[in-house]
Amino acid sequence: MRLTRYFLPVLKENPAEAQIVSHRYMLRAGMIRQQAAGIYSWLPLGYRVLRRIEAIVHEEQGRAGHIPVLMPTLQPADLWRESGRYDAYGPEMLRLKDRHERELLYGPTNEEMITDIFRAHVSSYRDLPLTLYHIQWKFRDEMRPRFGVMRGREFLMKDGYNFDIDREAALHAYNRHMVSYLRSYERMGLTAIPMRAASGPIGGDDTHEFLVLAQTGESEVFYDDRVTALKLGARAIDYDDRAQVAAVCAEFTALYARTDETHDPAAFAAIPEARRKVGRGIEVGQIFYFATKYSEPMGAVVVNEKGERVPVHMGSHGIGVSRLVGAIIEASHDERGIVWPLEVAPFPVGIVNLKQGDGAADAACAGLYAALAARGIEALYDDRDERAGAKFATMDLIGLPWRITVGPRGLAAGKVELTSRRTGESEEMSPEAAVTRVAALCGGRAG
Ligand code: 5CA
């Protein structure tokens, strides 16, 4: 993408309304625009990151055997009357009426609707296990929308729902979600710690939240420092292997890690003092097992092996897709701007032309751009007629992992400069070598 043909409305000044760094940088980097309290448009750069996060979530859910669907944002109120949540949900639910005075709501979550789909089409244990999910906009009329996309009113969520024959099968689904979530967050460059939590309006006793440690997080967290070192890494997971998946979950939940809602001061005090940590965290996901809370009142029943009609065991599992954009920035930035992890970066590499209009520099940049494209790498080429300082400031602000700098002086010696946004380290090399190196560095990343 050539910057002169793109839409990147960067702001020079710090927006007064932004209290935390991710909100500030998202506004300054032209990623979002607020349209009403807690409601945002996603501008091209922000939209790219959002799409990349979605793609990771889809891939990892696919690996776990979970099936994508798409349910609407508007839901009939009557479905929610069946579960008893229409009245229980309170003022967070946006309620509306259509021209026929039929009551609708803008979905804050989808337990009822997915249960309705299930009961209409599934009636035998032979069709289980089944896990369906979607990535769809939600609305919660939060009392205090704040921190940009972190606590929005309209926000993008991945929500998945498992249907299983009994508690054991449903707990395996719970564990599959935990592992696939850990893998998703790791791919986004995040350490997200599963912490035992409270279930709130979703229900059930078994629930974990996933927290990214950050000073600006809304939850107070208490944890054994060793939990922050756990990594899934490249280990192979067989999602059908109940024992293996359970063992991974046991490994990641054995050490003390809780939010203020479930904190147990006595258990915490038993951890050696040097490892006892109190901090703050951003909740980027939550998983629930709630047995038959929705299947019983809504009649989601299957015939089991013995020919008996039994309500299915369910759970629901959410990832805050739009919140993650802010959470990643909170976890990865410096005083000059965002530092995107490669997998979620809007572009993997930027090209800075230090002297636009110089024949050799223009030709070298065009050549680099084409050679990268031929290897499937889309660069953001800053071809504006701007001073070098302004171009560097923009690149630093938008945080692309790699920058290739091209100028007449370097080119006279056959060199361009490759710079890492994260370390600031630069190396001179030929344009061909820069292309090969960037291709190698971008390894697994598509696009
Ligand atoms: N039905 C369940 C699981 S699918 C559910 O709704 N869970 S939740 O309430 O925990 O939401 C899932 C995730 O959505 C949260 O972990 C959080 O990351 C994100 N989320 C919740 N509320 C907001 C909000 N107001 N703004 C941005 N993200 C939010």
In contact, 290 and 199? CB cutoff 8 Å: yes
Which amino acid appears at position 4 of this protein? T
Q: How far apart are CA 293 and CA 312, in angstroms?
A: 10
Residue 211's SS3 state is: strand
DSSP classification of residue 190: -
CATH 3.30.930.10 in the chain, residues? 3-337
**Using a 6 Å cutoff on CB, does residue 281 contact ligand 1?**
no
pLDDT digits (tens, 9 = 90+) for 216-263: 999 999 999 999 999 999 999 999 999 999 999 999 999 999 999 999
Mean pLDDT on 191-207: 85
pTM: 0.97
CATH 3.40.50.800 in the chain, residues? 347-442
In contact, 324 and 54? CB cutoff 8 Å: no
DSSP classification of residue 258: E
Report the nearest atom of ligand 1 relative to the CA of 110. 1
pLDDT digits (tens, 9 = 90+) for 119-135: 999 999 999 999 999 99
The total of other beta-carbon atoms located within 10 Å of residue 123's CB is 14
Task: Give the H/E segment covering residue 270.
Answer: none
**Using a 6 Å cutoff on CB, does residue 159 contact ligand 1?**
yes
Ligand 1 midpoint to CA 140 (Å)? 9
pLDDT digits (tens, 9 = 90+) for 61-86: 999 999 999 999 999 999 999 999 99
Band of the pLDDT at 208, cuts 50, 70, 90? very high
**Using a 6 Å cutoff on CB, does residue 285 contact ligand 1?**
yes
Locate tokens 């710690």: which residue? Answer: 193
Q: How far apart are CA 49 and CA 60, in angstroms?
A: 17
Ligand 1 midpoint to CA 89 (Å)? 14
Ligand 1 midpoint to CA 222 (Å)? 21
**Using a 6 Å cutoff on CB, does residue 316 contact ligand 1?**
yes
Domain 347-442 has CATH 3.40.50.800: yes
Angle ∠(325,326,331) on CA atoms, nearest 5: 100
Q: How far apart are CA 189 and CA 176, in angstroms?
A: 20
CATH homologous superfamily, domain 3-337: Bira Bifunctional Protein; Domain 2 (3.30.930.10)
Q: How far apart are CA 416 and CA 427, in angstroms?
A: 8
Band of the pLDDT at 447, cuts 50, 70, 90? low
Q: How far apart are CA 312 and CA 296, in angstroms?
A: 8
Report the nearest atom of ligand 1 relative to the CA of 288. 3
**Using a 6 Å cutoff on CB, does residue 207 contact ligand 1?**
no
In contact, 112 and 79? CB cutoff 8 Å: yes
Ligand 1 midpoint to CA 103 (Å)? 24
Ligand 1 midpoint to CA 209 (Å)? 10
113 Cβ contact list (under 8 Å, min separation 6): 71, 75, 79, 107
Task: Give the H/E segment covering residue 54.
Answer: helix 44-63
Band of the pLDDT at 206, cuts 50, 70, 90? confident
